[in-house]
């Protein structure tokens, strides 16, 4: 390619797509388009509007390092506030003019020189470089429960909240006790009369309280921007020191987190019978750790019922469990999670020699160091396969990946590179190293979770975020075929 501005298309204007677009703009890449299937930015923060939604990564760290926000109202920001932050950032960073809303890329095909793009409503576009920023947790997973469609009341998934449904005073069932079910339970306790929580598997809870930031501290952060940076770095250091290590290697961090969870359960739930029901069969962090100081208190309420008998079916009047009991309810909320392995779906991606991503990933999503895929030139992924997505700030991870992609784009703009694609050998070496590192992680200690791929291997990063940064600090040229 001759030196000059490559045309870059980003798929998705969620957290990572905006991150990439912002970095490209800052670096002077102007031939840039972000295709967004919805009518607003924000991705998962736009789609999830359920009561009690908040981010369990500290707000001062769950922000772009290049767009600090002094105005967070609490240490763990509410979902609506985070969504406002992304909308604001997209305007302040001059990105909105680059975003094509309601533009869903149905197909992207490499023609030997560039990608030809087709949207689901038939528009066409092209791109020299394609960046997939389509997120991980976007396809709601609906449970396969008999009779669900026969329910006479309102039933919906947590990520598709039906705001027309009145909740106060209603008999509400929440199915699922992941991060979402726990936040919902805390928020709906006292609103629902009663709230019935259906738990299939208990989960460990780390008691991190929601604390408001005072107007004084917000004013101080506005007045002294350095305080924001200090705060970001302090949280990053703390999160990486504790959670960055706890999940991936045995050590004091894992022991400490596990002990806090176990002690918290002992202290917060005094009833031995209830405690037994809430005691998970696996180790803390095997499933993604739940952060909540309000879940156990909610379960102590008389108008909150915990049901651990398995659900046999849903009937028009409610939820029937294996003990034969019908739990009569008016509303059913399915907090049953997402298909975390539906990377890029339903977009059809075609690379070299007609290779489709569906074929390349027949046995599961596999990439090169979380950012690229052999057979797909000039194609990069943000929060791609095996990204460090446990209890981390995905924003920090996306920034590392976007900086790496930017490095390649600088080479393309300078004309020294025309096409770049990771080799199959380097990718398979990387994936072998991943597999070898998995036994040290807590995710393989015997639980089922959305972390696990179809082959039972966690689709996560088995090292610390610092190793991710090191691996993506600069391209290892022999790992690529470059023209």
Q: Of residues 37-76, which lie at the interface with ligand NAP (CB under 6 A)? A: 54-56
| Binding residue (CB under 6 A) for ligand NAP from 11, 22, 137, 426 | 137
CB 338 within 8 A of CB 398: no
Taking the least distance from each CB to ligand NAP, the nearer of 151 and 450 is: 450
Does a cis peptide bond (omega within 30 degrees of 0) precede residue 287? no
Taking the least distance from each CB to ligand NAP, the nearer of 133 and 406 is: 133
Residue 58 has which token pair?
């500290």
Q: Of residues 75-114, which lie at the interface with ligand NAP (CB under 6 A)? A: none
For residue 77, the minimal CB distance to ligand NAP (Å) is: 10
For residue 24, the minimal CB distance to ligand NAP (Å) is: 26
| Binding residue (CB under 6 A) for ligand NAP from 206, 269, 278, 335 | 335
Question: Which residue stretch of 123-131, 244-252, 336-344, 352-360 sits at the interface with ligand NAP (rule: CB under 6 A)?
Answer: 336-344
| Binding residue (CB under 6 A) for ligand NAP from 336, 387, 441, 464 | 336
CB 60 within 8 A of CB 123: no
For residue 69, the minimal CB distance to ligand NAP (Å) is: 17
For residue 206, the minimal CB distance to ligand NAP (Å) is: 12
* Sheet containing 195-198: order of strands: 154-157, 331-334, 172-175, 195-198, 304-307
| Binding residue (CB under 6 A) for ligand NAP from 68, 178, 377, 388 | 178
For residue 179, the minimal CB distance to ligand NAP (Å) is: 4
Q: Of residues 413-472, which lie at the interface with ligand NAP (CB under 6 A)? A: 448, 450
Taking the least distance from each CB to ligand NAP, the nearer of 56 and 330 is: 56
Is 311 near ligand NAP (CB under 6 A)?
A: yes
CB 460 within 8 A of CB 451: yes
Residue 209, Cβ density class (10 Å: 0-12 exposed, 13-18 middle, ≥19 buried): exposed
For residue 454, the minimal CB distance to ligand NAP (Å) is: 15
Residue 468 has which token pair?
């991710």
Residue 236 has which token pair?
């990053």
CB 134 within 8 A of CB 302: no
Is 54 strand, coil or helix? Answer: strand
The half-sphere exposure of 303 on its side-chain side, counting CA atoms within 13 A, is 14
| Binding residue (CB under 6 A) for ligand NAP from 58, 135, 337, 453 | 337
For residue 79, the minimal CB distance to ligand NAP (Å) is: 8
Q: Which helix (H) or strand (E) holds 98?
A: none
Is 201 near ligand NAP (CB under 6 A)?
A: yes
Is 288 near ligand NAP (CB under 6 A)?
A: yes
Is 143 near ligand NAP (CB under 6 A)?
A: yes
For residue 376, the minimal CB distance to ligand NAP (Å) is: 26
The alpha-carbon radius of gyration of the chain (Å, integer) is 23
Is 180 near ligand NAP (CB under 6 A)?
A: yes
Gap between the Cα atoms of 302 and 305, Å rounded: 7
Site string for ligand NAP, 356-385 (x = CB under 6 A): ------------------------------
* Sheet containing 8-11: order of strands: 99-100, 32-35, 8-11, 129-132, 379-381
DSSP 429-469: HHHHHHHHHGGGSGGGSS---TTB-TTS-B-S--S-HHHHH
Is 145 near ligand NAP (CB under 6 A)?
A: yes
| Location of structure tokens 């890449």 | 29
Q: What stretches of 70-172 show up as alpha helix (H) in DSSP?
A: 79-92
Taking the least distance from each CB to ligand NAP, the nearer of 8 and 174 is: 174
Contacts of 284 (CB under 8 A, 6+ apart): 204, 206, 257, 258, 261, 262, 442
For residue 337, the minimal CB distance to ligand NAP (Å) is: 3
Please list the residues that pair with 117 across neighbouring strands: 108, 125
Name the residues that contact ligand NAP, by CB under 6 A: 54-56, 137, 143, 145, 175-181, 183, 198, 200-201, 288, 311, 335-338, 448, 450
């Amino acid at each position: 390619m001759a030196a000059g501005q490559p045309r870059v298309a980003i798929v998705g204007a969620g957290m990572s797509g905006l991150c990439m677009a912002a970095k490209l703009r800052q670096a002077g890449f102007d031939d840039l388009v972000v295709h967004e299937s919805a009518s607003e930015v924000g991705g998962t923060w736009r789609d999830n509007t359920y009561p009690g939604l908040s981010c369990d990564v500290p707000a001062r760290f769950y922000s772009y390092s290049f767009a600090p926000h002094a105005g967070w109202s609490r240490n763990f920001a509410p979902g609506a506030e985070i969504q406002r932050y992304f909308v604001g950032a997209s305007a302040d960073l001059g990105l909105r003019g680059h975003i094509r809303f309601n533009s869903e890329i149905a197909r992207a095909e490499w023609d030997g020189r560039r990608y030809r793009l087709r949207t689901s409503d038939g528009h066409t576009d092209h791109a020299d470089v394609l960046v997939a920023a389509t997120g991980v947790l976007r396809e709601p997973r609906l449970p396969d429960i008999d009779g669900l469609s026969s329910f006479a009341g309102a039933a919906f998934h947590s990520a598709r909240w039906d705001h027309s449904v009145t909740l106060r005073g209603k008999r509400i069932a929440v199915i699922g006790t992941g991060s979402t079910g726990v936040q919902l339970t805390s928020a709906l306790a006292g609103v629902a009369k009663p709230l019935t929580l259906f738990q299939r598997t208990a989960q460990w809870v780390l008691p991190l309280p929601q604390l408001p930031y005072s107007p004084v501290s917000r004013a101080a952060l506005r007045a002294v921007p350095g305080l924001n940076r200090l705060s970001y770095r302090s949280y990053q250091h703390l999160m990486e020191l504790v959670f960055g290590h706890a999940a991936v290697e045995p050590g004091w961090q894992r022991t400490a987190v596990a002990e806090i969870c176990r002690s918290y359960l002992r202290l917060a739930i005094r009833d031995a019978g209830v405690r037994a029901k809430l005691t998970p069969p696996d180790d803390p962090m095997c499933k993604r750790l739940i952060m909540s100081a309000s879940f156990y208190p909610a379960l102590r309420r008389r108008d909150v019922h915990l049901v651990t008998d398995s659900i046999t079916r849903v009937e028009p009047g409610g939820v029937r469990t294996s003990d034969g009991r019908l739990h009569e309810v008016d509303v059913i909320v399915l907090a049953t999670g997402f298909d975390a392995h539906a990377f890029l779906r339903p977009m059809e991606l075609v690379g070299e020699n007609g290779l489709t991503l569906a074929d390349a990933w027949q046995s599961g999503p596999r990439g090169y160091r979380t950012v690229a895929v052999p057979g797909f030139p000039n194609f990069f992924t943000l929060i791609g396969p095996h990204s460090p997505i446990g209890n981390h700030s995905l924003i920090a991870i996306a920034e590392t990946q976007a900086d790496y992609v930017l490095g390649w784009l600088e080479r393309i703009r300078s004309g020294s590179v025309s096409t770049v694609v990771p080799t199959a050998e380097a990718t398979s070496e990387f994936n072998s190293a991943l597999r070898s590192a998995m036994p040290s992680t807590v995710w393989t200690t015997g639980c089922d979770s959305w972390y696990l791929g179809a082959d039972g291997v966690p689709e996560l990063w088995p090292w610390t975020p610092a190793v991710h940064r090191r691996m993506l600090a600069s391209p290892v040229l022999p790992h690529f075929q470059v023209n």
